[in-house]
Amino acid sequence: MSINLAVFASGSGTTLQAIIDSIENKKLDAKISIVVSNKPDAYALKRAEKAGIPTYIISSKEKENIDNELFEHLKNYDIDLIVLAGYLKMIGDKLLANYRIINTHPSLLPKFGGKGMHGMHVHQAVIDSKEKISGVTVHFVNNEYDRGNIIRQTTVTVLPTDDAESLSAKVQAAEKIQLIEVLNDFSSGKI
């Protein structure tokens, strides 16, 4: 069963690209109906346009208004699942009540999660804490940053020679593989 996705992204869109590529290569039975961003200059929007996927840029600034704006806009699509792929805004109650929403996070939650813990901030915190293992978590989204029920985690080894950038590269590679596996589980009805 194909799933209909909305992908929310605030940055470069490498995770979005992994989803696009997996759909095109028939490794994922899904359709991305819309890509949403809170940043008009997010490269994710260019990736979506290149793939022929409609885009939407959020115009509201306050959380409640963003929630209402997105809810009204997404009603135009038959969305089965919202994927947060590097989206850096809190999701509002109306979206939470009406959609299944998942997020990818670049650490093994609950470690190194919460407000402000994204991207290189996470990887630097892992390095500074001298962790031996890091990884990626896919979880359901709730009304607290990085606190929703965990769907799946994949570990990567943190080597003594790693810095935040090299750790980021390992985590991103694992993240893309894991997310496609999770999306396939949604498509097959396992989740």
**Which residues carry out catalysis?**
105
DSSP the chain: --EEEEEE-SS--HHHHHHHHHHHTTSS-EEEEEEEES-TT-HHHHHHHHTT--EEE----SHHHHHHHHHHHHTTS--SEEEESS--SPPPHHHHHHS-EEEEESS-TTTT-STT--HHHHHHHHHHTT-SEEEEEEEE--SSTT-SPEEEEEEEE--TT--HHHHHHHHHHHHHHHHHHHHHHHHTT--
